[in-house]
Amino acid sequence: METGDYLLLLDSNADWGSFRYFGRVFLRLPSKQWKLSERLWGEGRYPIVTFVRGQLVNYPWPRFLDDFQYGSGLKPMGRTYRISDKTLTRSRFESESKMFEAILDEFASAPGR
């Protein structure tokens, strides 16, 4: 993951699951931050620190699978995956920037939802 990448955060890949946050990385610290992880989380298990600017969304997991023509066997929980350029081009979005705009337009959550 690099500065400028888009990031979707998924609550569950069950049929009822949804991506709940969508944003863009504006800073990724250049090395693993073991001490910062310890301070933030009480343990050193999360040393990759990124800062993301975005907003709350409710983008259903089944819709994501359809949008990108992924099978139901995809299990991304706890991992970070890149959507390939080929997959983006095949999707209804065609590019990262169009994906960002469409998801925010269609699935942005109002505060408090």
Over residues 47-101, the pLDDT tens digits come to 999 999 999 999 999 999 999 999 888 888 778 888 999 999 999 999 988 999 9
Whether the model clears a pTM of 0.85, i.e. scores above it, the answer is no
Q: Could you tell me the strand order of the sheet in which 6-10 lies?
A: 6-10, 18-28, 50-60
Residues 64, 54 contacting (CB under 8 angstroms): no
Dump pLDDT digits (tens) for 26-36. Answer: 999 989 999 99
Measured distance CA(92)–CA(113) in Å, rounded: 27
